[in-house]
Amino acid sequence: MATWLKMVAMHASETLGAKPIFIIVCCAFIGLVLADTPKYTTKYDNVDLEEIIKSDRLMKNYVNCLLEKGKCTPDGAELKRVLPDALHTECSKCSDSQKKGSRKIMRHLIDNKPEWWTELENKYDKEGAYKKQYREELKKDGIKL
């Protein structure tokens, strides 16, 4: 890729002058960085969240998985693995489906199972930093932290 960038820069230099080179190289670099940004697997994006929300047993199993109080399904184990990073990076590696799903689950837990939500907060946000960080954004979606 570095050779490709050099060729683009040399060609732009010969035809456009110095300023456009900088712009082209920056755009190419940004494109390469964005293309190489790792994403979380989308393997579990089609999990039926409605089914989980409707079943206290299923929801509690996922909560227990995240709290290390019970066994994890493969999708629960993946969620537990990526959750700390997703919180830290503002879900920058999440798919749109994962972002929507996380808000749906959060809303359900906060509104219907606040004791489970509190347990998760105590494990993943002991200092309350993420609560402060996300409060305004989630408020726009009708989620009150």
pLDDT (tens digit per residue) in 20-63: 555 555 445 554 444 456 898 888 888 999 999 999 999 999 99
Residues 127, 70 share a domain: yes
Length of the chain: 145
pLDDT (tens digit per residue) in 59-79: 999 999 999 999 999 999 999
Dist. CA 124–CA 67, nearest whole Å: 9
Residues 117, 58 share a domain: yes
Q: What is the CA radius of gyration of the chain?
A: 21
Residues 53, 22 share a domain: no
Judge whether 41 lies within some domain.
no
* C-alpha torsion 47→53→57→63, nearest 10: 80
Count up the domains in the chain and report the number. Answer: 2
Domain extent for 16: 2-36
Judge whether 57 lies within some domain.
yes
Is 0.85 surpassed by the pTM of this model? no
CATH classification at residue 118: 1.10.2080.10
Judge whether 123 lies within some domain.
yes
Judge whether 110 lies within some domain.
yes
Judge whether 43 lies within some domain.
no
